[in-house]
Amino acid sequence: MPELQACNRSLPSALPVLATLVSVSLGLVAVSSDRAHKAPAFEQVGTASWYGPRFHGKKTANGEVFNQNKLTAAHRTLPLGTTVEVTNVTNGKSVEVKINDRGPYVNGRVIDLSRAAAIRLGMKDAGLARVQIQG
């Protein structure tokens, strides 16, 4: 059975090719694309509020000067500098914000948004909204 012996000798060198074929057929290959769906590393649902005029021009927790017209937010635990997507679950509007401050300091709220972010989410007049945070 020389054919079998030849096959056995070439099997180790064929393993990477075989593993690649199996990965492709099972859909295990990583896709590098903007359209590739990625599970968020962080997800939270809760009530958002917004803050602005009273804090405009004051320092935030990361040392930046707060600008109510920028897309920023305060969160209790997310690392400062993290960018997250906040979606108003009532109307489906979304905005990306940078976490640059700590808060909110009101029970039952999960994030404090800048005035600009609140406007984008369509919640400025109401003051509060149910949101989903993903990052």
Q: For the chain, how many structural domains are there in total?
A: 1
| pLDDT in the model for residue 38 | 66
One-letter amino acid at 65 equals V
The CATH number of whichever domain residue 59 belongs to comes to: 2.40.40.10
* Residue 23, in any domain of the structure: no
In angstroms, the CA 87 to CA 133 distance is 7
| pLDDT in the model for residue 107 | 95
Q: What angle do CA 90, 77, 43 make, to 5 degrees?
A: 40
pLDDT digits (tens, 9 = 90+) for 110-129: 999 999 999 999 999 999 99
The domain in which residue 87 lies consists of 43-134
Between the two ends of the chain, the Cα-to-Cα distance in Å is 59
In angstroms, the CA 47 to CA 129 distance is 6
Closest to 52 measured CA to CA, from 110, 107, 125, 109: 125
* Residue 93, in any domain of the structure: yes
* Residue 21, in any domain of the structure: no
In angstroms, the CA 124 to CA 116 distance is 9
Pull the structure tokens for residue 27.
């859909």
* Residue 13, in any domain of the structure: no
Split the chain (135 residues) into runs of 10 and give each run's mean pLDDT: 46 42 36 52 97 94 97 98 98 98 96 98 98 97
* Residue 14, in any domain of the structure: no
Pull the structure tokens for residue 90.
């009532």
| pLDDT in the model for residue 24 | 34
